[in-house]
């Protein structure tokens, strides 16, 4: 799609909304009047269906008590497996390869504890310097538990420009000292998509296991983890998947690794039919369920039932198609309307390299974000100079995108941002 095929008028934005095949899903979500939400890549909005499923699970607790584990509308004992099955099409995996459990960082700890096996010269972990800090903290602590210094054993591939990573640079860093690779599917600042298929193939050529952090891609772009032979992946469910704040996370383990003992075991690692035998010898599940640890947070799982129902109906390929189009439209308007105000687009232009949000760079970014909020628009700020804008395919309209850019133009023309300090809030 070419940016120059768009028109900058409100009438054209309304026409795009009329042609939008996903527009009916907008009614599924709670949208605040007189507000435009552009931060779904940090926390997705509540859907009415997610709310209903939560109420149903609460009612199971109210009516069934402990029998809610096996009875009621959504039996809790197998809910993580059910949600894994519903999530599997989003990541391109079989149902037994996916489980909804833990949180992003807990699942990373589990997977590294399971698959990081330093031997001989292969003792180091390869990551990158642009990844989300929580992943780095986890990797550093895992290295320390093995007696290694993160200063020498955590290798971080450098970015050439501070925005993007080059796959060639990552591959060059896959030396015979690397035991494990952890990379993001989508970079959280710029929205760059890494070539997961290529990186996996190159890692495996060298005998290295590779896993991906899918927090900024699951629910926004299609994946083919099994086809690509990815070893493992992990993600949160509260961004593009709209599972709610702190929603239980997800993980994928390639079935070729089934039978590998979980590095961090707990009673939910068990085969379901053995779990209540209360033996002191673990019999792990012969699926991704083996990499659960403790009892799932059922009330946090519940909204995801409704959210994933919506994704099943909408289809991830349709979601991606609209995401690409509406983000193209956003970039077109930004360049058309804001060329006089020293903004820089910090996201890739190529479709195959860009995830579900657009990064806009400006030296006054923190102040501009505050001015946007005062005008009823919810963006996201990332230090030091990034405004992230995320038109979400399921609930953002083209008209809203047009209004966002017009408001941003007004803020810059009138210098409304100057009344704010150019520093982030406690929660950016």
Sequence-separated (6 or more) residues with CB below 8 Å from residue 253: 97, 111, 231, 232, 288, 290, 291
CB 273 within 8 Å of CB 237: no
pLDDT band at residue 2, thresholds of 50, 70 and 90? low
Report the DSSP beta bridge partners of residue 390.
39
pLDDT tens sequence across 196-229 = 999 999 999 999 999 999 999 999 999 999 999 9
**Per-residue confidence (pLDDT) for residue 421, from 0 to 100:** 87
pLDDT band at 428 (very low <50, low <70, confident <90, very high): low
- Among 407, 427, 426, 402, which residue's Cα sits nearest to residue 417? 407
* Residue 422 pLDDT level (bands cut at 50, 70, 90): confident
Q: What is the mean pLDDT of residues 283-298?
A: 96
Rounded to whole angstroms, the Cα distance separating 248 from 340 reads 44
Q: Which of 57, 91, 59, 62 is nearest to 75 (CA)?
A: 57
Distance, CA of 75 to CA of 186 (rounded, Å): 34
Output the known binding site for pyridoxal 5'-phosphate. Answer: 104-105, 132-135, 213, 216, 238, 267, 295
- Domain boundaries along the sequence of the chain: 3-30+315-419, 51-313
pLDDT in the model for residue 305: 98
> Residue 115: enclosing H or E segment and its boundaries?
helix 104-115
The tokens for 378 are 């919810």
Binding residues: 104-105, 132-135, 213, 216, 238, 267, 295
Q: CB within 8 A of 355, min separation 6: which ones?
A: 185, 186, 187, 191, 192, 193, 216, 217, 220, 221
Of the chain, the percentage scoring pLDDT greater than 70 comes to: 98
**Per-residue pLDDT at 371:** 97
Instruction: Share the mean pLDDT of the chain.
Output: 96
Q: Which CATH class is domain 3-30+315-419?
A: alpha beta
Q: Which range is least confidently modeled, 147-151, 235-239, 271-275, 423-427? A: 423-427
Q: For the segment 367-405, what is each residue's pLDDT rounded down to a tens digit?
A: 999 999 999 999 999 999 999 999 999 999 999 999 999
Q: Could you say which of 3.40.640.10, 3.30.750.24, 3.30.70.120, 3.30.70.20 is the CATH number of the domain covering 51-313? A: 3.40.640.10
pTM flag (> 0.85) = yes
Nearest to 268 by CA among 276, 280, 256, 257: 276
Contacts 24+ apart (CB under 8 A), 274-282: none
- pLDDT level of residue 87 (50, 70, 90 thresholds): very high
- Band (pLDDT 50/70/90 cuts) for residue 424 is confident
> What does the pLDDT read at residue 344?
97
């Amino acid at each position: 799609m070419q940016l120059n095929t768009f028109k900058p008028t409100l009438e054209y934005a309304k026409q795009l909304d009329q042609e939008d095949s996903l527009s009916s899903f907008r009614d599924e979500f709670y949208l605040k009047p007189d507000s435009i939400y552009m931060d779904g890549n940090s926390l997705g909005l509540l859907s009415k269906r997610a709310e209903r499923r939560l109420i149903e699970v609460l009612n199971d607790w109210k009516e069934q008590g402990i029998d809610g584990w096996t009875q009621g509308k959504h039996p809790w004992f197998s809910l993580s497996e059910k949600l894994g099955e519903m999530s599997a099409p989003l990541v391109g995996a079989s149902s037994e390869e996916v489980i909804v459990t833990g949180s992003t960082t807990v699942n990373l700890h589990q997977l590294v504890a399971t698959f990081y096996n330093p031997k001989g010269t292969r003792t180091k972990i390869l990551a990158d310097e642009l990844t989300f800090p929580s992943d780095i903290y986890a990797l550093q602590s895992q290295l320390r538990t093995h007696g290694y210094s993160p200063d020498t054993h955590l290798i971080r591939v450098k970015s050439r420009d501070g925005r993007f990573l080059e796959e060639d640079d990552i591959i060059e860093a896959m030396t015979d000292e690397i035991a494990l690779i952890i990379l993001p599917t989508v970079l959280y600042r710029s929205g760059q998509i890494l070539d997961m298929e290529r990186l996996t193939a190159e890692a495996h050529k060298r005998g290295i296991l590779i896993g991906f952090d899918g927090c900024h891609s699951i629910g926004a772009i299609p994946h083919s983890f099994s086809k690509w032979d990815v070893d493992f992946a992990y993600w949160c469910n509260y961004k593009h998947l709209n599972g709610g704040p702190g929603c239980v996370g997800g993980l994928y383990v390639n079935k070729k690794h089934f039978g590998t003992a979980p590095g961090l075991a707990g009673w939910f690692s068990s085969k379901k039919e053995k779990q209540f035998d209360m033996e002191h010898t673990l019999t792990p599940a012969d699926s991704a369920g083996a990499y659960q640890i403790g009892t799932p947070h059922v009330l946090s799982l519940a909204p995801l039932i409704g959210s994933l129902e919506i994704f099943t109906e909408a289809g991830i390929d349709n979601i991606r198609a609209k995401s690409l189009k509406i983000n193209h439209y956003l970039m077109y308007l930004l360049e058309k309307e804001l060329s006089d105000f020293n903004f820089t687009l910090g996201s890739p232009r190529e479709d195959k390299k860009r995830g579900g949000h657009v990064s806009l760079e400006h030296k006054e970014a923190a102040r501009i974000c505050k001015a946007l909020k005062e005008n009823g628009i919810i963006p996201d700020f990332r230090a030091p100079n990034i405004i992230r804008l995320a038109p979400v395919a399921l609930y953002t309209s083209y008209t809203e995108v047009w209004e966002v850019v017009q408001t941003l133009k007004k803020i810059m023309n009138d210098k409304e941002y100057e009344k704010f300090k150019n520093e982030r809030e406690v929660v950016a």
